[in-house]
Structure 1
């Protein structure tokens, strides 16, 4: 009696699964942060019209929302990429833009805080 080797169906490589998981997190977090930026812009506009105190925070947050949207689109594109190499490069770009967006959001928070003093 001879043993017959039956290969398993191919599963995604662990690195590709990790990249996909990271892209999903970037996608959901950046989409949520676009909404947060837009909400804060609306609140700042209300405060500016009632108190006549101007600030550049809404401009920073508008740029921030754009960065998060680009990060969101790139992470979605990375999830749709067929090549693992392409997925990795697009994911790295999405990750870098996401981190720049977080840094800009921190600067905007500092501007808002100091404008209210």
Structure 2
């Protein structure tokens, strides 16, 4: 059980930091009035949802009930999904596939 809580705390920390980064990106796009010209805000919104789900599930895993292992595995899946989505968005933006 202790290993689950150790891993979940790392998932919670990393996903909450990346959630904050997504909020900064979304806010920047809105303030610069370029959100309607690009799909970056839609992709970042999906990443935000994935990271928020990961935060909630990893928190529930840390709380320690009988489903904590299941919550941790699902939180890990959502975290990797959000991380992968941000990576793909960054690559597409870097190579000018999305503007």
The alignment's TM-score, normalised by the length of structure 2, stands at 0.86
Number of residue pairs matched? 96
Higher relative contact order (CA 8 A, sep 6+): 2
- 5+ residue gaps in structure 2? none
Q: Give the counterpart of 1:57 among 31, 37, 40.
A: 40
Q: Give the counterpart of 2:84 among 97, 103, 110.
A: 103
Larger radius of gyration: 1
Residue in structure 1 matched with residue 4 of structure 2 by the alignment: 19
RMSD of equivalent CA atoms: 1.8
Q: Higher helix proportion, which one?
A: 2
- 5+ residue gaps in structure 1? 1-15
Residue in structure 2 matched with residue 94 of structure 1 by the alignment: 75
